[in-house]
Structure 1
Amino acid sequence: MTRPRTEAEHLASLVPASVRATRLPRRSVLRGSVLAAGALGGLTACGGDDAGSGGEGGGSATTLGSNGSDEVPKKMIAALAADAKTKAGVDVAINTIEHEKFQEGINNYLQGSPDDVWTWFSGYRMRFFASRGLAGDISDVWQDLTGYTDAFKQAGTGDDGKQYLVPSTYGPWAVFYRKSLWQERGYTPPADWESFKALLARMQTDGLVPMAFADKDGWPAMGTFDQLNLRINGYQFHVDLMAGEEAWNSAEVKSVFEAWREIMPFHQEAANGREWQEAATALVNKEAGMMLLGSFIGEQFPEADQGDLDFFNFPEIDPAIGADAVEAPLDGYMMSARPRDEEAAKKFLGYLGSADAGTLMVQTNPTVITANGDTDTSGYTELQARCAEYVGSAKSIAQFMDRDTRPDFASTVMIPSLQTFINNPADIDGLVNSIEEQKKSIFTS
């Protein structure tokens, strides 16, 4: 029997594979808590804290709930809002919410009084809120969009076949480093697991923190698990594990944690008390040799140092598995189920899906790749060009643990489990048995 096509296999002309979705069973409602306890019930639309005060001059007006709270994405969002007024005739009031608070409070935010348009992610996280009636149908917006492959349209499509998200940008996860530091020390990118471990040991001997590392917010460590699982067990096992179709206490998963435990001594200590921006600072200051993170790490580098940032693919561990699967999460924009001005909101979304918007995105944020194929990429930095080539040459692309699996499982089970492992990597059996027990409860609900 032929297995169903994954969203990864849909990414057609741009990339060979991405946004795994179709192997996930459809669920209209998840019972119980969706996001971690303590999510901000007070997240509401307030608008107007950034560029574009709505309603000026009697034109169309809308509000944007943005998780782009760091300096670079905040600058990009402000530029888009200003350009939307000129190009689409829409005044946009931006409601910027701290990134982690936005993610953890999204469920209450959407059930309260959300902004008309809001930043979000493709994959299961998009389909979940669409299936609950918390996102608006923007299929008519898609009728006028150009420059997107069918794969990207699929990435914005819910379980009911309607479109709910306009894809904007994406960026790969890889191992990032400073070229100048590596040239000074004579380091070269490792091709396999043994040479990677040898490099870690050499960096430690040289007085560096081999791997900058942080997990205070809970999600960064998911990237380490994903990379190891993709290299040890392969893409299909990984997506099946995320879908709840494989056992977390299996020998395959144990081998992932065993490999992680082997290299844990080379990671920056006290990771659970550190945010990723703080860890990235160690890389910027040449105190750390490398860091596994998304290309957004470039946001922490001063403009003068942007050209010094480079990366390599997480190394091969099993030659039979190879290293041709990567992660490249896709971001985008969605509409409230009940926007205050639906016409203005859709005009804004139409602008956000345009080539003009794509061009502005990559110009104002040099760490992302645009999803719109009509975008002018002639101004790509060396890093952006490298990222685009890297993603384009991948055989399979995952979205990231907290996008490829159920949000309640990612938040309430995997975040505390991985933080427990970071604090005490000795008891792998106890860890995976606990995860599997909780998984069964959640995935059968």
Structure 2
Amino acid sequence: MNYQEAIEYIHGTYKFGSKLGLENIKYLLDLLGNPQKELKVIHVAGTNGKGSTSSFINGVLKTSGYKVGLYTSPYIEEFTERMQINGEKIDKQRLAEVTTIVKAKIEQMLSEGKNHPTEFEVGTAIALVYFAEEKVDYTILEVGMGGRLDATNIIENPLLSIITPIDYDHMEHLGDTLGKIAFEKAGIIKENNFVVSYPQREEAMEVVKQVAKEKNSQLFVVNYDTLKIHHSAIEEQQFSVEILGKKYEDVVITLAGPHQVYNCCTALTAIEVLKAHRNIEISDEAIYQGLKNTKWIGRLEILGKNPLTIIDGAHNLQGATALKHSVETLLEGKKVTLVVAMLGDKDVQGVLSSLIPLMDKIVVTKPNNPRAMAADDLAKELVSYGKDMYICKTIKEAVKKAHEVTEASDVILFAGSLYMIGEARTILTSK
């Protein structure tokens, strides 16, 4: 296959739906020679902050001189973002080659009467084969959905499991209470192992503690008691904190928003555990430099000046709350035009009710996705806020309209759907 054929094949498996369970992925990886068993894995679950936390750890390990595989989802602009080694996306031709190998084994599965793997299972198998073939030193594996029955949970003995903030999302699959959702996320905790957790809300924290105890896994809860944020701006943040007895003074990160400081502290806790319990050599210099150099596209990412143009992947309640806090603290006194699109299965009012009152104008559009909410329907949900509103049929039109109605001294913010901000990013970066 060439790259285009590989992408069409991968996305063509979307029709097989989203099935939680490990039977399919286990069978497929058996046929592929179990590449996952050759990898040293850091496994990351949670509702929000998975990608940023993974990216911070990736940056530190890479700066330490290790060869690091990073598997994340979804992608913002192109599929190859999901599989990276030391910050470089998988080469398109290489993706085609590995996909050809995986496809052959899937055809063998089907001939043996097995179910077709889902799109996420196919992507996970491709990533694991790629990282094993490239002989990476460490692999950071981000859970797709939940944890317990997620395809990435085929990993039997990770170096470390990490659980970032847990909130309500994918409730039709994971359950309708924080406790049920936390049980699914905590499913990545393995016997006699180590786990780092963000300090969850009480209902979720109790579940994480209970699962860790049952698995005889040592739990490290991130402690923010000593955290002091010295400076927080849209371009850079600086803070000091003590993590597991180690003092970090004047840490600088370029990911914006106070929530990214918390994600960074989760990553620092993970790094301290890896140093102390997995004997991974990481210097202080590599930590400071790795964190400072960490980039994560689509998270309060600046893509233009005059007007200041920002994209953010907030698409659930916790993400929207973090974005609201960032708008209030980092964009104080600015008039903001929000370009918004949503998927129909998201909590539209929940996500937007805290954001819309802070906005000056609203440009409503539609993401390119089968689950997309029509722009007219979204506009009806927002009309009660009494804001100047513009409805655009395409994202390209929405980008143009936002620039037409926003003063050069003000701000354009794209949020609400990763699918929308991906297309908007492509348009904005090509200008």
TM-score normalized by structure 1? 0.29
Higher strand share: 2
